Structure 1
């Protein structure tokens, strides 16, 4: 049985006050059997670790550099994230791919760096609107999955989480229908089955792309959707809590 994971991605938003607000709310919250994580900006990682100590909230980071150390001004290594309290790290988010030109090779290098230090990478995959309209969704998404999973060993693959995030639904208010999202998740799981049936059964697949309290239940009840990667709604504590409660 796969335990649902609801991961919030604050992107370059938030504040120390918001960290404390989440800590207070989730310390008293009643949640179903669900794991919850917040991907906060790097300067807030240590504060979040301390604030979330007595809550169900885990801490995650939004990216990492593939090298362990060196002359990479402004970058953050996996060891630094671990020391700051992170358990998860996003890799291959569409904004990193598009704005910072991280290709499949760069994504793979970051997945490997995360696994090396014991972080759980959340591998983000997804298609643009043009690719969907050209009926290339599966080719694009499965290509991004295979670019990483083909290069990993079996014991590494089981430590990865995949988040499907249709690029056309990120920050636009548009959301894939539950049927559209489920179809892509099912295709990913079927492809994972070509590596190993147990991997396909056990690996968690999250949906990202304008998930909010109003549509979370319908998305999270799909058979191959095991949680959510939540953007804008993760900055509103009541909305994020409602999404977490929908995962029961």
Structure 2
């Protein structure tokens, strides 16, 4: 699969801008969202960091109109079709219609609770980028898989499924990979900076060997898993950690410290 036929491996972007995403999950109300928007507006937010927050679908339009212009809005999920008889789903076309240009796909909660397969997630990823919506594509292993030394097997398999559906090299400019070890999400446990860096470095090597060297150099690989104001700076120092996907902490003012983790480095 390395340097697949038809791909012209031209370097279009070598600099990786630090990226911090806030996943609000199924939390919030109009009042809560106003509070979050309040501290995001007051800041400060490092201008060198790309900040995206993922609101529940009902609140995407409301939040997008009130967020400061330096913070983009994201959806937490979308489907693989433009329209049709898919009750309860939303499409990338609908997201764009309300000014939403980002979506999280493949989150561990979608994979485990809703039993979404690697193939379905890959199809959704491909449909989103093909229709102009950038994606935060999540991958990561369960605790049992890590304990059985299957971390690389799992994250490479999940990444490979996405790679095989991405038909055009340029679409990688719309993809952020989020490594989220499932055992560290919402548990208070966090991969050490060394553990996270090890997986990120191996993922970048896998992309180099199986997609294209330029994609490997330019794609942002971010870390998610109980990131907080205490551990963010040490994680951010690692060469291959290009940002964070933050859950519960994104609902609180400490999110600002996470956004500013690279300030002064």
Q: TM-score, normalised by structure 2?
A: 0.90
Please name the residue that 1:233 is paired with.
Answer: 249
Please name the residue that 2:57 is paired with.
Answer: 42
Distance 1:40 1:221 in 2: 28
Q: CA RMSD in A?
A: 1.2
Alignment check: 8 A CA contact 1:175 1:209 kept: yes
C-alpha distance after superposition, 1:28-78 (max 9, x if no partner): 3222210111101000000011001x4421100000011111111111111
Please name the residue that 1:156 is paired with.
Answer: 171
Q: Which has the higher helix share?
A: 1
Alignment check: 8 A CA contact 1:92 1:125 kept: yes
Match of 2:241, SS state, is coil
Which of 207-216 and 9-18 deviates more?
9-18
C-alpha distance after superposition, 1:79-132 (max 9, x if no partner): 111122212101110110111111011011110121122111111000000100
Asked if 1:107 is matched to 2:113, the reply is no
Structure 1: give runs of 5+ residues left out of the alignment.
Answer: none
Structure 1 residue 210 displacement after superposition: 0.4
Moved over 4 A (4+): none
Please name the residue that 2:193 is paired with.
Answer: 178
Structure 2: give runs of 5+ residues left out of the alignment.
Answer: 1-14
Would you say how many aligned residue pairs link Structure 1 and Structure 2? 246
Alignment check: 8 A CA contact 1:163 1:206 kept: yes
1:2-21 maps to which residues of 2 (within 5 A)? 2-21=16-35
Match of 1:123, SS state, is strand
Which of 195-204 and 19-28 deviates more?
19-28
Which of 150-159 and 113-122 deviates more?
150-159
